[in-house]
Structure 1
Amino acid sequence: MTSLFKYFLCLFFFTAFGFSQIEEVNPASYIKTIGFKGSTNESQLPILKLGEPLLLEFDALTGTEPDFYYVIEHFNYDWTPSNLVKSEYLRGFDNQRIQNYKNSFNTYQIYSHYMLRIPNEQTRGLLVTGNYLMSIFNDDDELVFSRKFMIYEDLVNVGVAIKRSRDVKDIDKKQSVDIVINSRNINFNNPLENVKSLIIQNNNLNTAISNIKPQYTLGNQLIYKYTSETSFWGGNEYLYFENKDVRAANVGVQYIDLKDIYHNYLFVNTSRANQLYTYNPDINGNFLITAIDANDVSIEADYTMIHFALQHPELTDGSSIYVYGNYNNYALEPDNELHFNSETGLYECAFRLKQGFYNYKYVITDKNGILNEGAISGDFYQTENNYKVLVYYRDLGARYDRLIGMGEGSSVNISN
């Protein structure tokens, strides 16, 4: 596949949709365990300081060692294509084949593990801050999947404080994010229009709050202390399991069975919405690949069929229940949708996951596809959640939105 063809393919895609906001494309069924992070960032949503390396890993469960190619595009704050040409934000070339891969060793499930590091010999670095999209294509010029990431400069201090909701009706269920931005190097021009903030809970872009304007401006200090505009549902601590030993039941695993691959049957879960909050340390929806007696878990960890079961009354209003977590980028897909089994009286589903430690919870979408994260798990102000605040700025005459700072906070020390 030529670089020119991919360029026109991306150009056609953006033009056909009227330069609308770009969305991530979920992977094909044979792509599993996508890991996307920086050198010091263990989340699946890389937010990197300019100059830091970026690592993308994934498995192809085909056994044929397929070829994949990567394309990097730059975007504005609202995920519309920026006006920059590639040479202005990328040093070197993209549209290159991913050359670094290894085949699985001593596993029931055959797969190839691919690794892409930026910078590399072809793509020597990214030159500007802002929003980026990494797109992976196959040999047939088909888009296999895409992932968003951000690069920032440390030009402003971003203070983040987590408070209980100021709205009395939600004081026990919501968490509010207060923000104070102090500029050291930039004199903001018209900050109400040119400064834009993004608030992300637990690295989940699907529920992020955007387009929040400063509530108060004191010189070069911008203050956000809203009643409801920067509030998130508290949710509940994630459920979890670990199957680092596929031959024995482990944390959260009730029993196992060996068929074509190992099958792990988790303990039956119940609704927690009407129960009292109980602190249970989690990793905020994330996952970690682990396997005992393995020197290299990237190729020695096996895939198992994980069986989920939820005790819940049958829904007859068109709603759906899903297993939710960062293992698949919080996607709601047919594979992780639970279906009611009239014989057992349980909602059940099963899908392949690589050995490891996984956070998950159950969520409901109504007949219109509207997500309700707390319908089964509950919402509690005490829940420990991670929050990241990204600050974008476009100066007068600038051609793209710079990402000038990032702040982080946790609700572990939530206050009134």
Structure 2
Amino acid sequence: MSKKLLLLITLLFALQHHSQIIKTIQLRPLQENSFSAIVPLGTTLQLSFDDLEADSKEYQYKVEHMTHDWQKSRLLASQYIDGFQQNAIINMTNSFNTLQNYTHYSVEIPNINTVITKSGNYLLSVLDAYDEVIFTRRFVLYENAATIGVTVERSRNTKTLNSQQTIQFSINHPKITINNPNLEVNAVIIKNNNWNEIISNLQPTFFKPKQLAYTYTNKTNFWGGNEYLNFDSKIIRNKSLNIVKIERKNIFHHYIYPFEYNELINYSYNPDINGQFVIRTLEGRNNNTEADYVLMHFTLLADEPFKEAIYVYGAFNDFSISEENKMKYNPSKKTYTAKILLKQGFYNYTFASIEKNIPLNTNKINGSFFETENQYTVIAYYKPFGSLYDRVIGVGNTFFNQNE
């Protein structure tokens, strides 16, 4: 066996192991029910996660400045950080009175050792004692140097009139001189804080004094999707929202109310938190260390298997695709099922499908409707000629809610 192949196998094994023991990764502002890591420069973000081996490992965090398209920027660490780029995570607490033992880790950024001085895209990595990357998360720090006005409306394209939403926006920059907008400004639209659903590489459609307008009718269209499904496991021994059965084994098993596939599904308004989750338990005082882990059983009813692979999808694993959240089809029961270990709380989720050489699709199972409530965020990057990095000069947000 070649050294390269052996190294690849070792890395894949390590990644699989880490995904099994590292759970409930959150990078959020300290404000309650605030899920976005796109915040003003100087805002405190808290990173937290659990290690199910519960053996007090030595983890470190590392902060790296990135370009607008998430490549490493040309800045040295000393040019965007006062203090240390890499430092130990020293705040750790063992779980209390839980069937699943774990150690809860957390760190706030900025802190006394790491103060970020420049706006931009940032990659936050957590490393083990051997300096191997365990996981990464993105965050964005922005200046209020420009005002971003964002609107969202029903698609004007007759083919997607009932299934898509159109975003238009303007960048108002009264204090910034932009000589060549096509080269100096980059804008990105993000749907529901999910970096897998973005539109970038946009050029202004109109130029006005101190204002750039982006008024596309098709290029900035997103599929509306559907409202997320949800469940609540805040009570571990009794049924809560959308939990139909509970079993006690070495840990608790919760069975979620089955979802039945219907290709003729209609839109029905259901308030959601756009794929996010909130950790909480009613059986303890500290959600961080007294919320237990539950094996959640997901069920999708379908008369025939899909040609695509089906996954349970949501922010609980950073909107990623892995073997853990892949669903398996049982022909005799005509059901797709998946079992995912999740910490107690309120969760949004949906179903995603993937076919070879075709991008991930979140509309196959639940449909796509222009009425769906979604949050859209526009980030404006500015890099004048001769500059070393992309500043984030402004961020704009808007919600589309046909039901208000």
TM-score bucket of the superposed structures, by smaller chain: over 0.9
What's the CA shift for 1:42?
4.2
Q: Say whether the 8 Å CA contact 1:136–1:144 is kept in structure 2.
A: yes
Which one of 28, 48, 51 corresponds to residue 37 of structure 1?
28
Matches within 5 A, 1:177-196: 177-196=167-186
- In structure 1, the partner of 2:60 is 69
Letter in 1 for 2:62: V
- In structure 2, the partner of 1:149 is 139
Q: Say whether the 8 Å CA contact 1:44–1:326 is kept in structure 2.
A: no
Unaligned runs of 5+ in 2: 1-15
Change (3 A) 1:43 1:375: farther
CA deviation map 1:290-325 (0-9, x unaligned)? 1003211100000000000001243363x2000011
Q: Say whether the 8 Å CA contact 2:269–2:403 is kept in structure 1.
A: no
What's the CA shift for 1:268?
0.9
What's the CA shift for 1:107?
0.1
- In structure 1, the partner of 2:8 is none
User: Residue 211 of structure 1: SS of its match in structure 2?
Assistant: coil
Which one of 285, 300, 313 corresponds to residue 295 of structure 1?
285
Which one of 242, 250, 254 corresponds to residue 260 of structure 1?
250
Matches within 5 A, 1:84-95: 84-95=75-86
Which one of 304, 313, 318 corresponds to residue 329 of structure 1?
318
Change (3 A) 1:246 1:365: same
Distance of 2:32 and 2:80 partners within structure 1: 22
Distance of 1:26 and 1:274 partners within structure 2: 40
Change (3 A) 1:283 1:316: closer
Distance of 2:399 and 2:191 partners within structure 1: 10
Give the TM-score taking structure 2 as reference length: 0.93
Change (3 A) 1:189 1:70: same
What's the CA shift for 1:97?
1.3
- In structure 1, the partner of 2:46 is 55
Unaligned runs of 5+ in 1: 1-24
Matches within 5 A, 1:12-411: 28-40=19-31, 42-123=33-114, 125-315=115-305, 317=307, 319-368=308-357, 370-411=359-400
Q: Say whether the 8 Å CA contact 1:289–1:355 is kept in structure 2.
A: yes
CA deviation map 1:195-237 (0-9, x unaligned)? 1101000000011111111111112211111121111000000
Give the TM-score taking structure 1 as reference length: 0.91
Distance of 1:281 and 1:168 partners within structure 2: 27
Q: Say whether the 8 Å CA contact 1:173–1:379 is kept in structure 2.
A: yes
Letter in 2 for 1:90: I
Q: Say whether the 8 Å CA contact 1:26–1:146 is kept in structure 2.
A: no
What's the CA shift for 1:29?
1.7
Change (3 A) 1:357 1:28: same
Q: Say whether the 8 Å CA contact 1:215–1:225 is kept in structure 2.
A: yes
TM-align CA RMSD: 1.8
CA deviation map 1:49-77 (0-9, x unaligned)? 11111110000000211110111100110
Task: Name the count of aligned residue pairs.
Answer: 390
User: Residue 101 of structure 2: SS of its match in structure 1?
Assistant: coil
Letter in 2 for 1:84: L
What's the CA shift for 1:278?
0.6
Letter in 2 for 1:94: Q
Give percent identity, aligned residues only: 39
CA deviation map 1:165-186 (0-9, x unaligned)? 1211101000010101111210
What's the CA shift for 1:343?
3.1
Distance of 1:85 and 1:367 partners within structure 2: 40
Q: Say whether the 8 Å CA contact 2:82–2:117 is kept in structure 1.
A: yes
Distance of 2:214 and 2:112 partners within structure 1: 43
Letter in 1 for 2:21: Y
User: Residue 257 of structure 1: SS of its match in structure 2?
Assistant: strand
